Amino acid sequence: MTPWPAALPGDTVDRIDTPALVLDLEMFERNLQRMADAVKNTGVRLRPHAKSHKCPEIALRQIALGAVGICCQKVSEAAPFVAAGITDILITNQVVGARKIDRLMDLATDAKIGVLVDHARQVEELAAAASTSGIALDVYIEVDVGAGRSGVPPGRDAVALASLIASRSPLRFAGLHCYHGSAQHMRSPQERRQAIASAAAMAQATKAEIESAGITVEVITGAGTGTLVHERDSGVYNELQPGSYIFMDRDYADNQRGDGDIAFEHALFVKTTVMSRPAPSRAVVDAGLKASSVDSGMPVVWGRSDVRYLKASDEHGVLATDDAASPALGDQLMLVPGHCDPTVNLYDHLVCVRNGVVEALWPVAARGAVL
Amino acid sequence: MTPWPAALPGDTVDRIDTPALVLDLEMFERNLQRMADAVKNTGVRLRPHAKSHKCPEIALRQIALGAVGICCQKVSEAAPFVAAGITDILITNQVVGARKIDRLMDLATDAKIGVLVDHARQVEELAAAASTSGIALDVYIEVDVGAGRSGVPPGRDAVALASLIASRSPLRFAGLHCYHGSAQHMRSPQERRQAIASAAAMAQATKAEIESAGITVEVITGAGTGTLVHERDSGVYNELQPGSYIFMDRDYADNQRGDGDIAFEHALFVKTTVMSRPAPSRAVVDAGLKASSVDSGMPVVWGRSDVRYLKASDEHGVLATDDAASPALGDQLMLVPGHCDPTVNLYDHLVCVRNGVVEALWPVAARGAVL
């Protein structure tokens, strides 16, 4: 745990110690509203992914604006959201191992929990635990619609798995999880549109095969911030799972925006201080890779095209500067992280700012919840 | 915070929930002893870097085996070590900003604290705070001996800064910080030896210049796990700061070992479970980039040359496998992280194992302490 907070409510932004994870509430609230508007009257449900924020304060605001529930990526990640009173959570992952399944069943006593499978053995293990406890679980089949990660291929493997789930009360076959992860950061709008058209066709065909076996496919769920307008408009997907739209990050900003794409704003920043100015073209800031995750590349310096973040070590960031005098030693800068999800996971709090003043600290309650 | 621990003392290794950060105590203790032996009777002090482990339990064991104190990289990182009774800490970084300097002075009431400077303004700010509180601080000049990050150039800039520090009681000029970070992962032993020979020559020349101005240079401190034998044998450095040697990681294992290099062992692992087996040559594990930092490349699968960790997303790791049947769904594997420091920073606990049984959970007390 960090031994003291970066700021307290009432502090002005310049008083926030660095590095700190800063959420601009006005930009954040506009992003929330844009997403709510984007699904309004479409018949498509919004189930935002909480792996991006890990913060019940944010999930409650998403639900207040119409989200049906949330997604989590791990069983332990779901726990603080259940504790905060959220009652509908889809764990968008396989859950394997006796200890994990026990915890999953514990959560399912307090909330409606969904989970993915892509193998009969997972179904049998879930069925055994659900049968012992008498608790229903919503089970979704993960279908590989192009991401090449987990999931059964489209078609008959999914039919067999759906039949198995349907036969294993109190498990309930809820639908298909058809998330195309690798499409999210395809840079051109055409590539993203084609990838989702292909994914939707596979999802649709798989649904048809399962339904011709007499099993209803209620939900087809998927989509991320990069592609969600295509899933929304597909006529196939009826639930969307975007996570990053509330924050945005450099990697999403690198996507070229297509017609109809929603103009989400950067709302999440890592505030940093220049702690060394060793050469005319080099500045060193106090936010390194333990302050801004570099798995998807370096952060960018917000509003400063004359300054480039070149490389990160644990607690140093090396910047190239055009001006030998600016930024100066002690100057404060805002970084836009390369990837918001693992960056948020480095912090205990979001420092929430409005009109230049800290309004609240929101706990990143599921930080480190990898189990 | 993780809502429940991955294991409890007394659990067998196969019962540890995944992903979990596992420390093999026998390998760890051998690494501790090898390092203690490597400096014994050399007159060179060991001040291990705590940014790698962030764990007072480990620092206390390093000190029990002869370390003079520890290094930390941030002011807030030092706090839990001071709370644990460690009384000699060098913060190997510039400390810039009023709030940070206030916290630094608070720590210095309970421990001997050292800090780096590379600019006169930093000296003046530290001097003002130290003068107000009447508390001594050890101030080291960071000299850029080849890393190209922070630090003054060797030579006269350092002389001017040493004179300034010496004139600003209660600041105490303690010596030169001459860490060559970029030499640590040069792959060939020759490159590493040459880089440190060059660094030592610059450190020596700078020391001579300062001493000819009548100011004693007591300590020349630096070195990391990749190069420490060269600093130790240089006749110039009299203090070493290695951090990763207790754990080792894939990036250090990729260094070719030279004559005289110490054979530290991998002691730190991320235990993971195969949660999906979607194709004959593909397995998916539950440890992604939130479980094993990928800033220095992918982890490797311990003891399994037939399995390669190809890519990571937040909570998934994709493995390429030679054998369609192994590892099977549900199998547990051990990963060696690409970079130990940011990986440890993802967890609340080290799960410490001896002879296949969990002996203790050690808190990663300074996790997330970036301020």
Residues B99 and B119: their CA atoms lie apart, in Å, by 19
* Nearest by CB: B4 against A103, A345, A347: A103
* Nearest by CB: A371 against B2, B316, B371: B2
Q: Tens of pLDDT along B53-102?
A: 999 999 999 999 999 999 999 999 999 999 999 999 999 999 999 999 99
Could you tell me if A54 and A350 are in contact, meaning their C-beta atoms sit under 8 angstroms apart? no
B273 touches A: beta carbon within 8 Å: yes
B289 touches A: beta carbon within 8 Å: yes
Q: Tens of pLDDT along B250-261?
A: 999 999 999 999
Which residues, including other chains, have CB under 8 Å from residue A208's CB and lie 6 or more apart? none
**Amino acid identity, position A24:** D
Question: How many CB atoms are located within 10 Å of the residue B221 CB?
Answer: 26
B4–A371: do the CB atoms touch at under 8 Å? Answer: yes
Residue B112, helix vs strand vs coil? strand
Which residues, including other chains, have CB under 8 Å from residue B62's CB and lie 6 or more apart? B32, B46, B48, B70, B246
B3–A144: do the CB atoms touch at under 8 Å? Answer: no
C-alpha distance from A190 to closest chain B C-alpha (Å): 24
Could you tell me if B262 and B38 are in contact, meaning their C-beta atoms sit under 8 angstroms apart? yes
B3–A369: do the CB atoms touch at under 8 Å? Answer: yes
B329–A181: do the CB atoms touch at under 8 Å? Answer: no
Please choose, from the candidates A219, A213, A198, A104, the residue with its C-alpha nearest in 3D space to the C-alpha of residue A154. A198
pLDDT of residue A2: 85
Mean pLDDT rounded to a whole number for chain B? 97
B275–A94: do the CB atoms touch at under 8 Å? Answer: yes
Question: How many CB atoms are located within 10 Å of the residue B11 CB?
Answer: 17
Could you tell me if A95 and B17 are in contact, meaning their C-beta atoms sit under 8 angstroms apart? no
C-alpha distance from A97 to closest chain B C-alpha (Å): 7
Residues facing A112 on adjacent strands: A88
Per-residue pLDDT of chain A (371 residues), as tens digits, is: 889 999 999 999 999 999 999 999 999 999 999 999 999 999 999 999 999 999 999 999 999 999 999 999 999 999 999 999 999 999 999 999 999 999 999 999 999 999 999 999 999 999 999 999 999 999 999 999 999 999 999 999 999 999 999 999 999 999 999 999 999 999 999 999 999 999 999 999 999 999 999 999 999 999 999 999 999 999 999 999 999 999 999 999 999 999 999 999 999 999 999 999 999 999 999 999 999 999 999 999 999 999 999 999 999 999 999 999 999 999 999 999 999 999 999 999 999 999 999 999 999 999 999 99
Q: What is the pTM of this model?
A: 0.98
B80–A291: do the CB atoms touch at under 8 Å? Answer: no
Residues A181 and A147: their CA atoms lie apart, in Å, by 6
Q: Which domains does chain A possess?
A: 13-22+264-363 (2.40.37.20), 42-248 (3.20.20.10)
Residue A252, both tokens? 């999403």
B76–A3: do the CB atoms touch at under 8 Å? Answer: yes
Residue B11: pLDDT band (50, 70, 90) is very high
Residue B2: pLDDT band (50, 70, 90) is confident
Please choose, from the candidates A368, A291, A367, A356, the residue with its C-alpha nearest in 3D space to the C-alpha of residue A14. A356
Residues A282 and A284: their CA atoms lie apart, in Å, by 7
pLDDT of residue B179: 98
Q: Residues of A with CB below 8 A from B341's CB?
A: 290, 314
Which residues, including other chains, have CB under 8 Å from residue B252's CB and lie 6 or more apart? B184, B185, B225, B226, B244, B264
Residue A343, both tokens? 């960056």
Q: Residues of A with CB below 8 A from B312's CB?
A: 295
C-alpha distance from B17 to closest chain A C-alpha (Å): 7
For helices B98-108 and B75-83, what crossing angle results, to 10°? 20
Q: Residues of A with CB below 8 A from B122's CB?
A: 329
Could you tell me if A69 and A240 are in contact, meaning their C-beta atoms sit under 8 angstroms apart? no
Question: How many CB atoms are located within 10 Å of the residue B362 CB?
Answer: 18
pLDDT of residue A184: 96
A346 touches B: beta carbon within 8 Å: yes
| A8, A179, A314, best to mutate vs chain B, most B CBs in 10 Å | A314
Please give the full DSSP string across A233-279, using - where no structure is assigned: TSSS--EE---GGGT--HHHHTSPPPTT-------EEEEEEEEEEEE
CA dist A6 → A20, A57, A336, A347, B2 (Å):
6, 19, 18, 10, 21
pLDDT of residue B1: 80
B310: nearest CA partner in chain A: A149
pLDDT cut 70: percent of chain B above it: 100
Please choose, from the candidates A131, A145, A54, A94, the residue with its C-alpha nearest in 3D space to the C-alpha of residue A342. A54
pLDDT of residue B245: 98
pLDDT of residue A95: 98
* Nearest by CB: B345 against A284, A290, A330: A290
